[in-house]
Structure 1
Amino acid sequence: MSDPITISLQGAPQGKGRARAFVRGGHVGHYTPQKTRSYESMIFGAAVDAMGGRPPFDEPVQVTLRAIFPVPASWSERKRQKAIVGEIKPAKRPDLDNVVKTWTDAMNGVVFVDDAQIVWMSLEKRYGPAALVVCTVQPIGGAQ
């Protein structure tokens, strides 16, 4: 079994944007919004760096993802401290499942061969002193 990989990306967590449709020449096409493509590109680059030339995992993996949101500047110091210690949770957009989808799609072919290999996940949204996403992928072995 291989060592786990941890990828960190500074900045506010972003969710996967919905595919947009357009009509051109009587044909319907779809595209991913630019904001989503840019964020996935940043994740991809961080994943390539974290892998350090290692091949992608080709076995079942577990993913642990922590999305840390900035505390709103307008909040009082008391409320800010409650948020940082976890007493107040960021029950707001983006949805956690959309954040995870962005990350797993961006790591396809880099950290693991395919996101179908993910058999277990641990996810968290919380406030922190700085916006950040930390994702750890660990092979867990076992039959495929």
Structure 2
Amino acid sequence: MSQVEFSIPGEPCAKGRPRFIRATGQVMTPEKTANYEQLVKLSYLQQVERDKPLTGPLVAKIYANFAIPKSVSKKRQQRMMSRQEYPQKRPDADNLAKIVLDALNGIAYADDKEIVCLEVRKYWAEVPRVDVVLREI
């Protein structure tokens, strides 16, 4: 059983909706989405020392850590850091998973259809990032 772990620096980002251009029939990926997918790929390649993708049924755990707003009181900051308070804000957990899993297609695994168990959690943190754990079953 093999497992990989890596972190994506910066504020978590969601997968944007594709835009359709009627005149040409083309589908455009939003620039923010394309840039974040590149960051996911780069983070994986820099942090994971693996020469072949994971195979078989996979478990994926995605932990999105959002920056604590500067306007929050010290007392509330402590509640956030001790995980007594969670970020109930955008982006949605499913869109967080979508951008990370789609970006790893063909790199960490052949296709995200191999993921049979998915856990996505949202937390507050001093340093914004997304932590990813992928494990073969």
Matches within 5 A, 1:1-144: 1-2=1-2, 4-24=3-23, 27-140=24-137
Counterpart secondary structure, 2:22: strand
Report the AA paired with residue 76 of structure 1.
S
Cα deviation per residue 1:23-81 (whole Å; 9 max; x = unaligned)?
A: 33xx4221110000000001011112233242111211101110000111011111111
Ranges of 4+ aligned residues in structure 1 off by more than 3 Å: none
TM-score by length of 1: 0.90
Task: Confirm or deny: 8 A CA contact 1:51 1:111 kept in the other structure.
Answer: no
Stretch deviating more after TM superposition (36-45 or 78-87): 78-87
Task: Confirm or deny: 8 A CA contact 1:5 1:50 kept in the other structure.
Answer: no
Counterpart secondary structure, 1:78: helix
Stretch deviating more after TM superposition (85-94 or 45-54): 45-54
Number of residue equivalences: 137
Counterpart CA distance in 1 for 2:40 and 2:116 is 21
Instruction: Give ranges in structure 2 of 5+ residues lacking alignment.
Output: none
Counterpart secondary structure, 1:52: coil
TM-score by length of 2: 0.95
**C-alpha deviation, 1:130, in angstroms:** 1.1
Instruction: Give ranges in structure 1 of 5+ residues lacking alignment.
Output: none
RMSD, matched Cα: 1.1
Greater Rg over alpha carbons, structure: 1
